[in-house]
A and B are shown apart, each in its own frame.
Chain A
Amino acid sequence: MATNSPPSIDHSRPPLYRDVTVVKWVVQIAALALTLGALWFLADQAGDNLRASNVPTDYDFLSVNPGIDLSSGIDTDPDTGGRALWVGMVNTLRMAVAGIFVATILGVIVGLARLSNNWLLQKIGTVFVETLRNVPLLVQILFYGAVFASLDRVTKDVGPINGWLHLSNKGLSLPRVHIADGFYQWLIVMCIGIFIANEFRKRRIRQQDATGEESYPLLSAFAVLTFVAAVGWFIHPIFGFVGEIFGALSSFVSGIPQTVLQIAIGVLCVGSSALWIRSFLNSRRTPAGLARLTDDDYFRMIFAAVGGILGAIFFLILWPGLSSWMINSLSDLFNVLSNKFGDGRTGRPIDVDLPNIVQTGKFPNYGPSGLNFSIGFAAVFFGVVFYTAAFIAEIVRGGILAVPKGQSEAAAALGLKRATALRRVIIPQAARVMLPPLGNQYLNLTKNTSLAIAVGYSDIVQVGQTVYNQTGKTLPVVSIWMLFYLSCSLSISVIVNFFNVRMRIVER
């Protein structure tokens, strides 16, 4: 060891245990090993304990009938555990999308009210924001739930608008707009329509730039889209042949041998790490040749190489089922898609069903044809909407206040009307400030829908809890929750980032 060498000799490098690079990497690798070791130890312990209590951790329950009824969703009597969780996911997404939509509108209104020069509106906005954001969401949800539960019982004519809108202690029943058999063929027409409309818009903009006359590009593009949609409503059956293409794709995919895909995955792992190393070396290359690599750089390249090879080994040897799973699910996906087309799908793409009240047993209840929102849905919906709207209002207010006053003065000096100034000058700049925190709020709203468990709305957490209470498989269910929410978070941040990049000030 270098420690034993006498101090009189002048080292070009310090001893090993004082060498910054070495110590740095030893500490890091030790930390990594410690973390992985601790995780492995805990997982091992949990595995032992689970085996001891005869609850194996597997995902069998996904294909077993759980025998549970859900309070609301696309399928209230699912025949497998996986289907039940799927219904829960759809319910969560439904709640999240509806909540984001309404909360944004309400939040913008309240935010603008707080900035209004009307004293009363300002105060109402302030009371709204301060009250709702200082009371925990769960308390609000429970309160709304308790209030809704004390509404009148369902009767044959519970009203308020019979046949169209029913409100009672069973919830809200509305006309249901749903996709019907020709929808996917119509969707293809719509895609073509969007393409045509976009081209049309671009042409109109060119025209406006050339002549200087107002040519209403957006408005006319929208008119074209409406026209195409209306035509497509009747001629969509001609796209029935698309189903055969998907069918052919499905049989092609299922014909791919498993080993080919497996080797492809392995090559992908090794290849991507090799590519990374190459691009890394390229970035270090100067016109004079390869720059001197530091120890850090060598460490990075070794890490990338080891990572790539380990990944390949993992996919080739430890998890060979992945490729067959990928083949099967892709083939299934194409199969499902092919069934959505052709085969006498000639009806309307979109249909409306009016709500009804049926009496099967002793008490009347909402029938299946309307769009029924349970009390749980209403409580969670109002909870997340009000709570998030209070935060969004503050974001909107802050964003608009962040636009320098000179901007609106300059717009006025140019002779822009107030509405135009708002649309063209203020809001684009405010949006740039508002977007990141707004995305954060959307994320929070999505996660907050999990509180539905408190009022019995069947979102993924509630369904998952019912499933693991019956099967005892907590760990798999929790892992599905986490994956689901992580992918939701990821998709929202990808969307927000996309807009963020688009709206960024272009710098030199």
Chain B
Amino acid sequence: MENRDAILTIPDENGSLPPKAPNLSIGQWFRKNLFSTWVNGILTVLGTAAALLMLRGVLNFVFSENRQWDAVRTNARALMTLTYPESQYVRVWVAFGSVVVLAGLSAGIWADWGRLPARRLAGWFMGAAGFLAVCILVREPSVLMDLEGKTIRLPDGSLVRESFASAMTDRANWWAVVALLLIVGGVIWRSDSDKKQLKITQVTYLGIGLGVLSLWVAPYGHYAFTDGTYIADPNSTVAFSTKMPWTVMWIMLAIGFFAGRWLRTSSYLVLAKAGSNLLWLISPVTLYFVILRDPALDYSHVFSTDLPMGLAFGILGACFLWFLTRSDIGEIGRILATAMLGIAIFNWVAAFFGWYPMLQKARISFLLLAVAALLAPNFVGEAAKRRQLLLGWLGTMALVHYLATMINTPSTVELQSTEFLGGLGLTLFVAVFVVLLSFPLGVLLALGRTSKFPIFRILSTSYIEVIRGVPLISVLIFFSVMVPLFLPDGMELAELGAVLTGYTLFSAAYLAENVRGGLQSVTKGQYEAADAIGLTSAQRTGFIVLPQALRVSIPQLVGQVIATFKETSLLAIIGLFDFLRVANSVIPAQSEFMGVKREGILLVAVIYFFFNFVISKYSQRLERRVGLGER
């Protein structure tokens, strides 16, 4: 970054630097940006009035006496995981903790967020203080309550409010916060005589740390809904079962981060990068296992079946592939590979008609072996290339068999509801799996749509256009109602599975369109160059076209991830208990909080906003880093 700036500010031939933006005084700034013309002045006044009115409306809504924020505070756990049993709850924290450690580690290894001038930080503190002061001033004075906690009304039905002066004295503690922010900002500003630069990462960790530590001292109130008893204690600190895990999480985040920082300077950096990527890749399924499945594996089954099977596929498959990549193999290689594909497909057909039993793992492995065999001609020749294929095969087998073994254990978590997971956990689960599963499918569809083969093109185009022409809700309803009917006798799929299938198929069509945009931006010369050095079409697609196409479509792909995450809210309509459904129908049905809807929905909106905003900002950084639009 610094180098580029240096290049950009090199004086031109006459030796003159480009003019710098003049430093405006406050009055000049106002005149230039707010009151440059008559129209602008009027717009500014109207805009200020509208903004203040909006702010007042929001504050009045949030701090209204009619709001029952207890409903959200008490049901915090329901919003996150619905009815996940208390006794097993440590599993959720373990899963969350591993994500946190991974996140810290990756941030330590990859992130370089630059530096922050101390003066700007001071400016933020003072700006926050100013905003808070405006909020305190514009919020309407509170409604007076009688002794029973009901609002007092005049005979004509209007509410009685306290006077402005008493409202300001009531908000004295808020004024104290304003003063504190001002003092902190002022101190930072004054002490910063040598224009210090703070590391943004360190400021962030410190900020999170202070927030977490305040859980132990600040009286946020203790609210809970355990075993049907309703606890509301507004004057104490939060429950121990909240502050303890969060503190541990923060410590783990910091440890992960510093480990990452250390790895960054050590000689293991390449290994650490690969390792963290691999961990991210296997984390969704592993965490699913940690949260929902039996952590004590059935080891007799593992040693008698799973391990031998994985080894057999790994070793025999490797021998097969080694044979297929001999330099004198000729036509026989292709025939054998096609035969293997036939066997693999036949296994699935037989499964549908129930001709002979076979573990699903074996069917998947056969299919993968067939694919590897079809790829084998690309690796014929010297030993190094053949070893590449073998290592890839062994790695794939290890990963697939590991994941399959993890998923394939019985669930030990017994839940009160029929849903095995709910709340934000379900939302994230669906979003992550839909994105992961729809990606390969979407790329395949995009390749099909841009293919030279007319039937592939027609099939993928009609699929994409039909799916894009109908709303997601109809697709989800179709799948949740119809999938049980499509399956032959004896096969079953949970509703979540059906919905995941439908959502994945839907998302893949949109993803395909984004990837297609990238594919079309790859110039013809790239294809011709690949052909000229004798690459096969699979190699051309995999090594030349797709990497460039995917890089170009990063912004659209991230947009698609955000859209997918937003649309997980539709699960609430078709009857799954995601956290929107908890806020919209579960909380309002509790006898303590009859019909209290708006608070929960507002919280859900804020959470969605937070995730989406962070992702979209991150994608903008990513765009700049890969140099889109520059190279």
| Interface of A toward B, CB cutoff 8 Å | 24, 27-29, 31-32, 35, 41-42, 45-46, 49-50, 116-121, 124, 130-131, 134-140, 142-143, 146-147, 150, 300, 447-448, 450-451, 453-454, 461, 465, 474-475, 478, 481-482, 485-486, 488-490
Contact = CB atoms under 8 A, between A and B. Distances in A.
Interface of B: 33-34, 36, 40, 43-44, 47-48, 50-51, 352, 453-456, 459, 466, 468-474, 477-478, 481-482, 484-488, 562, 566-567, 569-570, 572-573, 580, 584, 597-598, 601-602, 604-605, 608-609, 612-613, 616
Contacts of B580: 136, 138-139, 142
Contacts of A119: 33-34
Contact of A146 (B567, B597, B609, B613): B597
Contacts of A28: 453-456
B477 A478 contact: yes
* Interface of chain A: mostly helix, strand, loop or mixed: helix
A367 to B, nearest CB: 25
B609 A485 contact: no
B469 A489 contact: yes
Contacts of B455: 28-29, 31-32
A121 B43 CA distance: 8
Contacts of A27: 453
Contacts of A120: 34, 43-44, 47-48, 51
28 contacts: A32-B459, A45-B487, A45-B488, A49-B484, A116-B43, A117-B33, A118-B44, A120-B47, A124-B50, A135-B566, A136-B605, A139-B569, A139-B605, A142-B597, A143-B602, A300-B454, A447-B470, A451-B573, A454-B573, A465-B477, A474-B482, A478-B474, A481-B470, A485-B470, A485-B474, A486-B470, A489-B468, A490-B469
B316 to A, nearest CB: 26
Contacts, number: 146
A450 B477 CA distance: 12
Contact of A49 (B33, B466, B485, B566): B485
Contacts of B484: 49
B33 A118 contact: yes
Contacts of B572: 138, 454
Given A139-B605, A475-B482, A447 B477 contact: no
Contacts of A453: 473, 573
Given A31-B456, A461-B473, A490-B469, 13 more contacts: A24-B453, A32-B455, A46-B486, A120-B43, A120-B48, A137-B566, A138-B570, A142-B580, A447-B472, A474-B482, A481-B474, A482-B470, A488-B469
Nearest to A454: B573
Contacts of B468: 489
Nearest to B473: A450
Contact of B601 (A121, A143, A150, A450): A143
Nearest to A492: B469
A24 B454 CA distance: 10
A305 B545 CA distance: 36
Contact of B485 (A50, A138, A147): A50
A451 B456 contact: no
The 4 closest A-B pairs by CB, nearest first: A119-B33, A28-B455, A489-B469, A134-B612
A118 B487 contact: no
A494 to B, nearest CB: 13
Contacts of A24: 453
Contacts of A137: 566, 569
A486 B468 CA distance: 9
Contacts of A146: 597-598, 601
Contacts of A450: 471, 473-474
Given A32-B455, A139-B608, A461 B474 contact: yes
Contacts of B43: 116, 118, 120-121
A138 B566 CA distance: 9
Contacts of B566: 134-137
B47 A121 contact: yes
A142 B603 CA distance: 12
B608 A478 contact: no
A453 B609 CA distance: 23
Contacts of A465: 477
Contact of B609 (A46, A134, A150, A454): A134
A139 B566 CA distance: 9
Nearest to A483: B470
B608 A135 contact: yes
Nearest to B50: A124
A136 B581 CA distance: 13
Most buried by B among A119, A131, A134, A482: A134
Contacts of A150: 598
Contacts of B487: 45
B608 A134 contact: yes
Contacts of B613: 130, 134
A143 B484 CA distance: 33
A50 B596 CA distance: 41
A490 B472 CA distance: 17
A334 B260 CA distance: 76
A156 B567 CA distance: 41
A461 B570 CA distance: 14
Given A135-B608, A139-B569, A478-B477, A124 B51 contact: yes
B36 A478 contact: no
Given A28-B454, A32-B459, A461-B471, A147 B598 contact: yes
Given A31-B456, A120-B44, A139 B469 contact: no
Nearest to A296: B454
Contacts of A474: 477-478, 481-482
A489 B467 CA distance: 11
Nearest to B458: A32
A71 B551 CA distance: 49
A485 B612 contact: no
A124 B608 contact: no
Given A131-B609, A134-B616, A124 B47 contact: yes
Nearest to A137: B566
Contact of A118 (B47, B474, B569, B597): B47
Most buried by B among A46, A118, A488: A118
A149 B472 CA distance: 27
A35 to B, nearest CB: 6
